[in-house]
Structure 1
C-alpha cells in the first residue's frame, strides 16, 4: 500500500474518510472490505484537489506507477454527499499510440480504435472544452487526433502522466466554477464543500470472450419492490449500457437477449454481491460492473436512485428483514418525502412545457380544463370533466368551486392565502402567487410571458409541489397509502412523544384524516360548513336581517344543519377530542362581489338590487382581517355563537345517547382581552345549562382560546384563568407580529429571502426568534396561571417539522395541521423523539 500526503491507495485498512475523501472513495473501501472484485483504486483528498485547482500537482509518476505499465485509468468525482454532484467520469486515461498498438495485437484493431477514439473525444470535449460537433460521427483515432491538434495547435499528449494531470486539473477547476457551486449549494452543500477524486485501473470491457460493461440494481426505482433492472452492453465501457440501443437485459427476458443467457454464473455473482451489500452496507445499491473475458469487476456502487414511494418501501423492507432497526428506518425518510406518496405527482423525467410558475402552496399534481368560476367548475365536475380553477384570489364563496376542481391556480396570494389553506385541507394541489399571469375573467383567458394565450377549456397540468404550471396533460404517478407507508406510520406512532391532531372542517375532511390516524381534531373552522348552496342562502338571510329576532329565526334554520355536522364529526372521531372554533370571518365574505351575484341574491331574498348593493357596501371594511370578525362578531352579534354552542351541545347529547361519550372543546377566535372570554363563556355556559335541562343529559365541555394576536400571547396568564386550553394560531399571529398581509406578502417575499432580510418566508416556516418568542411567553404565562392548561399549535405551521420540534421542546400537548400534512408531522415527531433518546443508528462497514 502506498500512502502519501496527496493520495492513498484504497485498501481495507487505509485511512479513507468520507469527510476527507468523499462518499465514493469511502464506499469503494467498504466494497474492498467485503472482498468484492474492485480494481486497484487510489483516492485523492479534498485538500489535494484544492491544491490541483491552484496549480500544485501531486506526484503523478508515483500515482501512475501504482497501476503498472500500459494501464488504462478512470477518474471519478467523490463529493462528501452524492447529491452534491461533481464532474463527470473520464475513462481510458493513458490511451496513446503505443497502448493502442499493443491493444490491437491482443484484441484487434477495431477494439483498439474504438477505445482510442472514445478517449480522444472525451479528453477534447470534457477536459479542454472543444466543440463536440468536431468529434461526432464515424471517426478514426487519426481523424480525432487531427481535429484535436487543429484546435489546440499542439500534438495529442502521449504521456499518461500529462493526460492525467490535465484530467485532474479540469475536474478540480470545474468543481470550483460558479455554476457548479450554486447547484450544489442548492442541494444543501456548504460554500467550502470539498471534492475528492478516485483514480481506478480499468477492466477493459471491449476485451475477448464475454466482455462488456453494465449497470444493475435489484429494486424498482419507482416502487422499491424487488426487481432486477439494468442493462449490459457487450464490448461496452462505463455506463454506456444505459444509453446504447444495443444494450441487453441483465436477467433472462422474453423481450430480448440478456447477459444471463450467456453468463449465468456472472449474473449470479452480481446477485450474491447485491445480497452482501444489502446486508453489510445496509442499503440498496446500484452496481456498475465490467466483464473482461468472463472475469467480473465491480467498479462502483451507489445508492439506488428512487422515488419517494420507493424510498419508504426500501427503508421498511430493510427494517423488516432486520438489516436496520425501526428507528433508523424512520430516520432515513426526510419528512417532506412523504408528499410524493400522498398525492399524485408528475412523473420524474416527464416532458415539461412550463406555462408559468408561482408559489408551491399545496403539494401534488393534477390535470384538467381551465375554468374561471365556481359555476364553471361545478358544471365541469357534473359532466365528469376534471378542471382546474383559476382565480385572481379565492374567497369563501369559491368553496364549492374548489371542491369541484382538481387543483387551484391563483394570480395572487402565498402559502397561507385562502386558496392555499383550503387546498391543503382538501388535499388539492395549489399554485398561488403566479404573478406573471394576466387573467381576464370576462374574455375567459390567461396570458403568460411570451404572449401565449390560453382559453377556458384548454388543458393544463398544475404541479403544486414545484410551483410549475404545465401545458397539456403530463404523465403522472399515483399515490401509495398502503403497504410500506402504513407500516412506517405505525412505527412513527410508537416513537413520537407529542400529539398530532388534524384541521378538519367538515365530516368529509375528518373521514379523510382518519385514513392517516390522528389523535383528534385540533381545529374545526365552523364557517366552512356554511358554503353549501342552501346554507349560504340562509346565512345571507341572517346577514340581511333587520333585528336580533329575525337573525335568530334564520340561525334556527342553520342550527339543525350544524348539529348534524357535529354529530357526524363526533361519530367519526369515536371519542377522540374535537376542537371546534366558533365563527371567525367577517360577514362580508359571505356576500357576492359581482353584479350577477348581487342580482341573484336580490332575487333570492326578494329585495331590490339597490338595497342589496347598499347593504353589501355598508358591510365592507378598510381592513377586514383586523375588523369585526372572530370574538368581536360573537360579542356584537351574539346570536351566532349561541346557535353554534346549542348545535354543539345538542350533538353531544345525541352522541352520548348513542353510546359515544364526547367532551367537546369550544375555541374562541381572535381574542385580545380577558373580558372577551368572560362574556362568551357566560353565554355558552347559559346555553349548556338550557340543553342539559331540556335533554335531561349531563355533559361537560372545555372552553379555550385561539391565541392569534400578540396581546393575547402577552396576557395569556389572565386569559388562561378562564380557559382549559390555549391553541396558538400562528397564521394570524405571524401576520400581526410582522405587520404583513399573508395574502400580499408573496409579491415581495422572495426578494426578502434572497437578500437575507428573512432567512425564510415566515408564513412557510415558523419564525422561532420573533413569533416563537411570543408563543413561548404566552405558554409560560398561561401554564404559570393554570398548570393543567393544555397547549397546542394549530396554524399551518403545525405540519412543518421545525414547528413540530419547537412545540415538543416548548412542552406543548399537540400540534394540529391539514390532513395531508399529518403524516409529515407524525414522521418528524418520531424522528425528533428518536434523536433526543439517542436511538438514531448509522453503523457502517
Structure 2
C-alpha cells in the first residue's frame, strides 16, 4: 500500500489502495475526504477519486470562479486522469465513458446541509455510448433523468414556486405513474424514462432560463463551484450557527468515480451503522434499496429494506407486517444476498475497530460488487452517545480519558427532558404507527411548514418528508413526523443529531400541504391540532400526553463518576428553592453558587409584606414589614441548607430594583391601596417615585442595601438563624453571603459591616455560632479592575457574567435579539455572548479580576454564577483562569461535570 503525502497541493487522490491523505487530515480534506483516503489506505474498496481541499474553498470565496478555475485546472485534470487510469474509462468519452460524482465534505459532518451532484458527464452522445457499452438501456436513461433532476436543483438553483408546492420533479413522476398505473420508480419503462428526461429538461429551462450544459467539463466545474457556494447556503449557515462551527473552515469537494446501484436486480444502495444510533446497542443495522442510486434511501421515496435479518423482524413488527409478507416483499440484505452481506459485515467491523467509534457508512452494490462510498462518526442520540462510550471503554477500544472526551456535553440535555408517563400511555389514543427514528417524547400543535414552526409555543413539524431546507424549523419544533422515510432518512439522521424526537415513515398519513391537513383514515387533523409523538415506539398519539421526569441511567452515572475523578473544578448549582437544591444534588452538584433571594418574595403570602416595606416612609415602618418576611426567608434557607447537606451555599442579597415588586396596572394599584388602607394616589406616587430610566444601572443591588441597611440586616438574620437551626439538627452548614453589584470598595465594606454586626448579634442571642463567608459578585467592570482592593476584605468572588457581559458590550440582554442576527450575518459576532462567554473582552476582565484579587488574597475562593457556568466552552475558560467552581441551573449540572473534566483533560493536568 502506497501513501504519498503531497505538500501544498490543491488535490489529494485516493483509491486502489493508494492515497495522498489520511484520517488525521480532516481540517484540510474535510471529514469525507480524509476518511475516503484512510479507507483506501487500509484496503477497503473505495471508488477512486480526489479531494479538492478546504483551503481551495476559502480561495474560491476570495478570488471568484473564473480565477480559481484557471489556478485549479491542471490539478483537476491530473486528478481525473488518475481516476480514468484506475477505472479504465475516459471522462467525456462517448464510447467508454467515465461518470463522476461531486460531493461536499466539511471537517465536521453536516449531513444534507451542502450539495451533491451525481452522474456528471452525461449528455445525449454519452448516453448512446453508455447504452451500447452496458447493454442496459433502462439503467442509462434512469441515470440521465436523475442527473438532470439533480443538476437543475443544485447547480441551476431550481426552487418551487411556492412553499405549498411539492418537488416539481416528483410531481411530474407522480403524474406519469398515475397515467401508467404504477407505484414505484423502478416500474418506469425505458420509454417512460425518456419522456421524463424531456419533461425535466423543459421544466429546468422554464424555471431557470438555462439549459443543462452538454460539455462534461463545464458540468464538472459548475458542480464543483456549486458545492463551494453551498458552504454559505442558508441551511449550512444555520447548521454552523446551531453547532458553533466557524465560517472560515470551508468545505472540501470530493470528485469520485460513479458506481451504480441502479443497474438492475443485482445492484443496490444503502446506509448502515455499526451500532444502533438511537440506543447505542452494539447491533449492526441499516437500510438498503435494490436497483436504486444515491439519495433514494435517505429521501424516503421508496420503503427501504433492512440490512440484517434481526432488524427486518423488528421493523416488520413496528410496521405491523407479518413474517411471510416481510420475507416475500421486504427481505433483508442478509437473506437476499448473504455473501455480499457477509462482506459488508466484515468491512463494518474492520472500519469500526480502526476508527474506534460507531460509524455511519454508505455503500453501493454494482452488479454484485460491493463498494464503500464513505464512512463518518455516526450521529447519535444522547442515550446512544453515553452507552457507546461506556461500551467502547469496557471493550478496551478506548481509555477513560477518551471515553469522557467522546461525550458532547450539551447532548446530555436530551437525557434530562421529561418522558411520557406510562400511566398516561395506557389510555392514549394511538392514531398511527411510524418508525421510532429518534427517541424522546414530544407533544405539540401541528405545523406543516418549517418556516412556520414558531407559530405555536410547542409545535410538531409534520411533513411528507423533510429536506435540508427544513433544518431551522426542525430545530424549533418539539418533534418531527414524516409520512415517508426510514430509519436512515434525512429526518431521522438530523433529528438524532439534534436530540429531537422523530417518528418517520408513517405510511398511514395522507398529508395535503395546500389544505394544511393530515388525514389518517377518515379522521382529519388540521394545523394547530394537538398530537404527541413517542420517538421510542413510533406511536403517533391524538392530543396531549402527560410526562414525568427521567431517571439517570447507570451508563450516565458511570460517565459522571469518571468525570468527577478527572475534574479539579467543582460544579455547583443556581437554586432558589429546596426542590431545586434537591434536584441539583441528585444530579451531582457540590454546593450552591447562587441563591437569588428576590425570587422568594413573589409568593402571594409574601408580596404583601414586601410591598408594605416598600411603601413605608420610615425606617421603623420598613423594619415592621421586614419582620413579617423574616420567618419566611428563614424557612426557605433552612430547606436549602438541609438539602445541600454540608455543601457550601452562596446566598445573594436582594438585587433587583424595588419597582419590580409593585403593581403597575391601575386595577392592581387599587387592590393594593385597599389592602394597605391607604389612598390610591399614595400607591401611584410611590410607583412613580420608584420608576427609573435605566433600572439595570439604577437603584438595585448593594445600592439598595446601603440605602436601606435594614433590608440587609433582615436577610443576614434569616440566613444566620436558619444556619443555626439546621446545625442543631446535626446537619453541617456552610453559608456564603454575597453582596451584589459592588463597584467600589466602600460599597462592599459598608455592607460587610452590616452583615458581620448582625451575625454577631444572632450568635450572642443564640449562644452559638457557625462559620460563614462574606464575598461579592463581580458584575461591574470597575469591580474587576479594582479587585485587588476589594479582595482585601472579600472572602470570595463570584463572577456574574450575565450583567458583566451587558456592561462590557453595552448590550441590553432583552433587546439584543433585534440586531444579533444581522451581526452574525455580517461576521461582527460569531455567537451570542450571553450564551457563550466572550473570552476576548469579558474574559479579559475576568482574568484581570482573578489575578488582582489573588494578588492581595491568595486564599480567595472564586467561581462563576452566570448562565455561562453551564456552557462547555465557557467552562473550559473558567478552568484555564483558575476558578474553584462553576455554578449553573440544576439540569445543566451533568453537562458542567463532563465539561469540567474535559477542560482538565485538554489542559493535561488530570490523571486518574
Matches within 5 A, 1:420-569: 481-569=552-640
**1:801 alignment partner in structure 2:** 872
Alpha-carbon distance in 1 for matches of 2:383, 2:457: 16
Distance 1:474 1:90, change over 3 A: farther
* Deviation, structure 1 residue 591: 0.8
* Deviation, structure 1 residue 116: 1.0
Distance 1:597 1:573, change over 3 A: same
**1:432 alignment partner in structure 2:** none
Matches within 5 A, 1:199-238: 199-200=256-257, 202=259, 206-207=263-264, 211-238=267-294
Matches within 5 A, 1:122-161: 122-127=146-151, 133=169, 136=173, 137=176, 138=188, 140=191, 143=195
**2:901 alignment partner in structure 1:** 830
Aligned 8 A contact 1:729 1:795 in 2 = yes
For normalisation by structure 2, the TM-score amounts to 0.70
Distance 1:241 1:760, change over 3 A: closer
Aligned 8 A contact 1:93 1:119 in 2 = no
* Deviation, structure 1 residue 578: 0.4
**2:229 alignment partner in structure 1:** 177
Alpha-carbon distance in 1 for matches of 2:719, 2:827: 47
Q: For residues 75-120 of structure 1, give each alpha carbon's deviation from its aligned partner in whole angstroms, at most 9, with x where no partner exists.
A: 242524253555325149676334424533xxxxxxx232111221
Distance 1:646 1:304, change over 3 A: same
Matches within 5 A, 1:55-74: 58=77, 60=80, 63-68=83-88, 73-74=99-100
**1:240 alignment partner in structure 2:** 296
**2:389 alignment partner in structure 1:** 315
Matches within 5 A, 1:571-610: 571-610=642-681
Which range moved further: 800-809 or 574-583? 800-809
Partner SS, residue 837 of structure 1: coil
Matches within 5 A, 1:110-125: 112-125=136-149
Matches within 5 A, 1:97-116: 97-104=128-135, 112-116=136-140
Alpha-carbon distance in 1 for matches of 2:295, 2:449: 29
* Deviation, structure 1 residue 523: 1.0
Pair 1:197 & 2:268 matched: no
Partner SS, residue 797 of structure 2: strand
Alpha-carbon distance in 2 for matches of 1:115, 1:236: 10
Alpha-carbon distance in 2 for matches of 1:150, 1:599: 72
Distance 1:221 1:798, change over 3 A: same
Which range moved further: 791-800 or 68-77? 68-77
Alpha-carbon distance in 2 for matches of 1:765, 1:833: 19
Aligned 8 A contact 2:47 2:371 in 1 = no
Partner SS, residue 522 of structure 1: strand
Alpha-carbon distance in 1 for matches of 2:756, 2:869: 30
Which range moved further: 63-72 or 562-571? 63-72
Partner SS, residue 271 of structure 2: strand
Partner SS, residue 302 of structure 1: strand
Which range moved further: 561-570 or 776-785? 776-785
Q: For residues 703-747 of structure 1, give each alpha carbon's deviation from its aligned partner in whole angstroms, at most 9, with x where no partner exists.
A: 111222233233322322222112222222333344443333433
Aligned 8 A contact 1:90 1:167 in 2 = no
**1:272 alignment partner in structure 2:** 346
Pair 1:660 & 2:731 matched: yes
Alpha-carbon distance in 2 for matches of 1:245, 1:761: 41
From 49, 61, 71, give the equivalent of 1:42: 49
Alpha-carbon distance in 2 for matches of 1:262, 1:762: 55
Pair 1:88 & 2:95 matched: no
Distance 1:114 1:314, change over 3 A: farther
Distance 1:680 1:710, change over 3 A: same
Aligned 8 A contact 1:175 1:181 in 2 = no
Structure 1 unaligned runs (5+)? 105-111, 154-160, 369-405, 408-428, 430-456, 463-471, 841-845
Distance 1:81 1:62, change over 3 A: closer
Pair 1:165 & 2:180 matched: no
* Deviation, structure 1 residue 575: 0.5
Aligned 8 A contact 2:405 2:902 in 1 = yes
Partner SS, residue 693 of structure 1: helix
* Deviation, structure 1 residue 494: 2.0
**1:324 alignment partner in structure 2:** 398
Alpha-carbon distance in 2 for matches of 1:702, 1:656: 16
Aligned 8 A contact 2:116 2:227 in 1 = no
* Deviation, structure 1 residue 787: 1.6
**2:435 alignment partner in structure 1:** none
Distance 1:341 1:72, change over 3 A: farther
**2:101 alignment partner in structure 1:** 75
Distance 1:617 1:519, change over 3 A: same
Aligned 8 A contact 1:340 1:479 in 2 = no
Distance 1:524 1:195, change over 3 A: same
Aligned 8 A contact 2:706 2:750 in 1 = yes
Aligned 8 A contact 1:21 1:78 in 2 = no
Aligned 8 A contact 2:563 2:901 in 1 = yes
Partner SS, residue 763 of structure 1: coil
* Deviation, structure 1 residue 282: 1.4
Alpha-carbon distance in 1 for matches of 2:33, 2:748: 64
Matches within 5 A, 1:374-413: none
Partner SS, residue 348 of structure 2: helix
Pair 1:689 & 2:760 matched: yes
Aligned 8 A contact 1:185 1:191 in 2 = no
Distance 1:715 1:490, change over 3 A: same
Q: For residues 296-342 of structure 1, give each alpha carbon's deviation from its aligned partner in whole angstroms, at most 9, with x where no partner exists.
A: 44343333333344334433332332222232233233433334443
Structure 2 unaligned runs (5+)? 58-67, 90-95, 159-167, 177-187, 206-212, 419-439, 461-476, 479-499, 501-526, 533-541
**1:726 alignment partner in structure 2:** 797
Aligned 8 A contact 1:72 1:202 in 2 = no
Partner SS, residue 517 of structure 1: coil
Alpha-carbon distance in 1 for matches of 2:598, 2:301: 60
Alpha-carbon distance in 1 for matches of 2:778, 2:721: 27
Alpha-carbon distance in 2 for matches of 1:782, 1:729: 15
Q: For residues 674-726 of structure 1, give each alpha carbon's deviation from its aligned partner in whole angstroms, at most 9, with x where no partner exists.
A: 33333333332232223223323232211111222233233322322222112
Partner SS, residue 308 of structure 2: coil
Alpha-carbon distance in 1 for matches of 2:564, 2:802: 27
Distance 1:288 1:773, change over 3 A: closer
Aligned 8 A contact 2:83 2:257 in 1 = no
Partner SS, residue 500 of structure 1: strand
**1:437 alignment partner in structure 2:** none
Pair 1:791 & 2:862 matched: yes
**1:714 alignment partner in structure 2:** 785
* Deviation, structure 1 residue 34: 4.4
Q: For residues 151-206 of structure 1, give each alpha carbon's deviation from its aligned partner in whole angstroms, at most 9, with x where no partner exists.
A: 999xxxxxxx9875354323212123377566556533654735332423626653
Alpha-carbon distance in 1 for matches of 2:395, 2:443: 29
Distance 1:636 1:233, change over 3 A: closer
Pairwise CA RMSD: 4.2
Which range moved further: 527-536 or 630-639? 630-639
* Deviation, structure 1 residue 518: 1.5
Which range moved further: 53-62 or 634-643? 53-62
Which range moved further: 612-621 or 565-574? 612-621
Aligned length: 726
